[in-house]
Amino acid sequence: MFEGLRQKLNQFKKTVTNKEHELDDAEVEASSNDAARLAEGPQETAGETYTPPAVHDDEAVGVSRSAESATQREVPGEATRTTSGRSLFEREIKEKDLEEPLWDLEIALLESDVAMSVSEEIVDTVKKELIGTKRKWRQDVGALVEQALRDGILKVLDVNSLDFDELVKKAPKPVTIVFTGINGTGKTTTIAKLAYRLKNQGYAVVLAAGDTYRAGALEQIERHADNLGVKLIKHQQGADPAAVIYDAVQYARAKHKDVVLADTAGRIHTNVNLMNQLKKIERVIDADLVVFVDEALAGNDAVERALQFNTAMAIDGSILTKVDADSKGGTAISIAHATNKPILFLGLGQKYDDIVKFNPQWLLNRLFGEAET
């Protein structure tokens, strides 16, 4: 899961770390040369006499020390400096040192299906956090770089928060949730997973078979309803989806059910008639939550589709499916930032319990190779 992006982020960490350590070594070598010249005393070169730089009285002892003393280890509480004024034990990360690695990072993010605007924002955050950072000589630069990357990714994921469980708990019953998206992304299966999850939490769930156009759609959701032991409201194939969902809400009210999960026909975002159908559902059904479902494997296409669906029927959040097969991870990073709506859940397989509530830290832990929990 997210293996491709994980490798690219780790490569950026290694590149910056190696470059900074090379600069450390160059600093030490230059400082040793300075100290050696001072220890040798005045030297004539090309008709000129080399004279050590003037020092204040309180530095006189330091100037007279040997080359070995000039490159000694840091004295606790005091940054040791060379005779040329450079510090052997504290360096500042400079912009010029990061130009090439940051460019490589942006390309790596784009190759991992991270949207361009999102890639630019992540790189900008990393740049701002690292440039000017003072660090000890040979300090673990990788830790600094990883934290900057984490902060950059977390920033683009930090959009309008929405706690699905809290909404269901506190909203007046029945809570009506409408699901939208294109064909083949696992929308109906996702609805069944949430029905399973809600039922296990003690809620009475009703399913609405609002996908009245796709052949086999009714049979698919009926099979899930039977497996889960929940009520399904359906009409004949080709019926008005808005009418099906309306009847499901009325049934839930009459029977004191807690949640209505409404399926809709999968549609291409460029199909004007079907997108207008969503607008009708929005007018007829005062949904508590509209959820866009797409697969993580779709990359930037999923981001574009989410924006189009959001125009037809304002979405409140997204669910990404097939995340277990996604090696790139760019969709999960991009879709929340692009729509300014949170990711609610991630689908990780075909079983009813193969769904996890989205948590940015969960994603970050996997991107940086920490053990899955």
Q: How far apart (Å, rounded) are the C-alpha atoms in residues 336 and 17? A: 31
Please give the distance of CA 281 from its chain centroid, rounded to a whole number: 32
Higher local confidence (pLDDT), 117 or 175: 175
Same-domain pairing of 181 and 324: yes
What's the DSSP call for residue 231? Answer: E
Same-domain pairing of 116 and 223: no
Instruction: Return the SS3 of 119.
Output: helix
Q: Tell me the two tokens of residue 194.
A: 């949430």
Q: What is the mean pLDDT of residues 36-48?
A: 54
Same-domain pairing of 81 and 122: yes
pLDDT attached to residue 224 = 96
Q: What is the CATH number of the domain that holds 123?
A: 1.20.120.140
Across 326-366, where does the E strand assignment appear? 343-347, 355-357
Across 50-208, where does the E strand assignment appear? 90-92, 134-136, 175-180, 205-208
What's the DSSP call for residue 268? Answer: -
Q: How many domains does the chain have?
A: 2
Given 96, 127, 157, the domain boundary residue is 157
Assess if residue 231 is contained within a domain: yes
Q: How does pLDDT run across 105-130, given as a tens digit for each residue?
A: 999 898 888 888 889 999 999 999 88
Same-domain pairing of 149 and 188: no
Assess if residue 200 is contained within a domain: yes
Question: For residues 171 and 288, is the Cβ–Cβ distance under 8 A?
Answer: yes
The DSSP result for 65-89, as a single string, is: S-HHHHTPPPBTTB--B-TTS-BSS
Same-domain pairing of 94 and 178: no
pLDDT attached to residue 58 = 46
The helix or strand, by DSSP H or E, that contains position 295, with its residue range, turns out to be strand 289-295
Assess if residue 335 is contained within a domain: yes
Q: What is the CATH number of the domain that holds 279?
A: 3.40.50.300
Question: 290 has which bridge partners?
Answer: 178
Say how many C-beta atoms besides its own lie within 10 A of residue 149's C-beta: 24
Structure confidence at residue 311 as a pLDDT band (50, 70, 90) = confident
Q: Which domain holds residue 56?
A: 3-157
Q: How does pLDDT run across 266-309, given as a tens digit for each residue?
A: 766 556 676 777 888 888 888 999 999 998 888 888 888 888 88
Same-domain pairing of 243 and 262: yes
Question: For residues 344 and 164, is the Cβ–Cβ distance under 8 A?
Answer: yes
Instruction: Return the SS3 of 327.
Output: coil
CA distances from 244 to 11, 80, 161 (A): 52, 77, 30
Higher local confidence (pLDDT), 10 or 141: 10
Given 157, 181, 213, the domain boundary residue is 157
Question: For residues 239 and 263, is the Cβ–Cβ distance under 8 A?
Answer: no
Same-domain pairing of 153 and 168: no
Given 113, 137, 157, the domain boundary residue is 157
Same-domain pairing of 143 and 204: no
Q: Tell me the two tokens of residue 351.
A: 């079983």
Please give the distance of CA 49 from its chain centroid, rounded to a whole number: 60
Same-domain pairing of 171 and 149: no
Same-domain pairing of 315 and 233: yes
184 CB-near residues (< 8 Å, 6+ apart): 266, 295
Same-domain pairing of 195 and 138: no
Same-domain pairing of 91 and 198: no
Residue 370 has pLDDT above 90, yes or no: no
Structure confidence at residue 61 as a pLDDT band (50, 70, 90) = very low
Question: For residues 105 and 148, is the Cβ–Cβ distance under 8 A?
Answer: no
Q: How far apart (Å, rounded) are the C-alpha atoms in residues 284 and 250? A: 12
Assess if residue 366 is contained within a domain: no
Assess if residue 300 is contained within a domain: yes
Assess if residue 373 is contained within a domain: no
pTM higher than the cut 0.85: no
Residue 10 has pLDDT above 60, yes or no: yes
Say how many C-beta atoms besides its own lie within 10 A of residue 351's C-beta: 10
Q: 39, 31, 44: which is closest to 85 by C-alpha?
A: 31
